[in-house]
Amino acid sequence: MAVLSKPIIEPKSELSLIPVIDISDPESKYAIVKACEDFGFFKVINHGVSTELVSVLEHETVEFFSLPKSEKTQLAGYPFGYGSRKIGRNGDVGWVEYLLMNANLDSGSAPLFPDLSKNPATFRDVLEEYIASVRKMTCHVLEMITDGLGIKHTNTLSKLVSDQNTDSILRLNHYPPCPLIKKKNNGGKNVIGFGEHTDPQIISVLRSNNTCGLQINLADGSWISVPPDHSSFFFNVGDSLQVMTNGRFKSVRHRVLANCKKSRVSMIYFAGPSLTQRIAPLTCLMDKEDEMLYEEFTWSEYRSSAYNSRLSDNRLQQFERKTINHNKLLLKYD
């Protein structure tokens, strides 16, 4: 089990650091752009997603994770299915169990969701409705971003995640109370629920219950805790969006710490493009003298690279343009 070697010192003003965006206000598009530039992370309010829908999904999620382990492991698989402790195939572990599912409602592939739960029909219906609602909200936010950036076609980003062949996924996480935190032989150290990483997709949409644990990494290298808010959604800039903005937006590093007393349940919608979609800096965002920081790649190529890496790896490093790396070396030894 991953353990942090040093206690975490939290800034007192962490609540005020998190940008809060009212997406019912069209003028908040500029605030979203600034949040993506400064943090790569923001909270969304007045989002229009039904609170009742979210409550039902959380209930069904808790019911699923309360099933006996022997039943849940019947859904174990890769990349989709049930997982516990092990995160990916490269040695990362955490104090977590999860259910990873295909979130492309238009794919026509069946089954989209597993039939294993106490109320399988209800679980499936609420998952489909939730994904449809969150995808709609995500497209709205992406269109606000393109408008705020001054891009002529406001669907430049949203069409990538509304395409029929989108590679979007949904992950339900359950972080049970962790008894190791209080044990003397652990020295009172923090236990990792989900290790530090960036999300490879375009953008991620998180919703959790009222249990703390999520932390984001600031530009100065410090970590701050994100106060939980079960009525709001949190957006993370992903690696692909960082590339498309040529580094203007930052793919935020984040992690989850285990809690010694309460269970934490979260739902993350990872908005990804189709496998054949080419990812490269958008020329409409660049001046003539600007240099592209990244090589062009397909989402399939980047996804494969991400799946073969450790969580904490800098996945974009190998896709940085060689001229940029050469210039860095020149500056280093100048």
Phi, psi of 148 (to 5 degrees): -65, -30
Tokens of 171: 């992950």
Nearest of 286, 57, 283, 87 to residue 172 by alpha carbon:
57
Q: How far apart are CA 202 and CA 158, in angstroms?
A: 10
> What is residue 130's three-state secondary structure?
helix
Tokens of 35: 């949040």
Task: Report H helices in 258-321.
Answer: 299-307
Question: Catalytic positions, please?
Answer: 264
- How far does Cα 235 stand from its chain's mean position? 7
Q: How far apart are CA 94 and CA 255, in angstroms?
A: 10
Q: How far apart are CA 271 and CA 166, in angstroms?
A: 8
Q: Give the number of other CB atoms < 10 A from CB of residue 334.
A: 5
Q: How far apart are CA 94 and CA 87, in angstroms?
A: 7
Residues 229, 171, 60, CA angle at the centre, nearest 5°? 70
Check if the beta carbon of residue 262 is closer than 8 Å to that of residue 256: no
Q: How many CA atoms lie within 13 A of 97 on its CB side?
A: 18
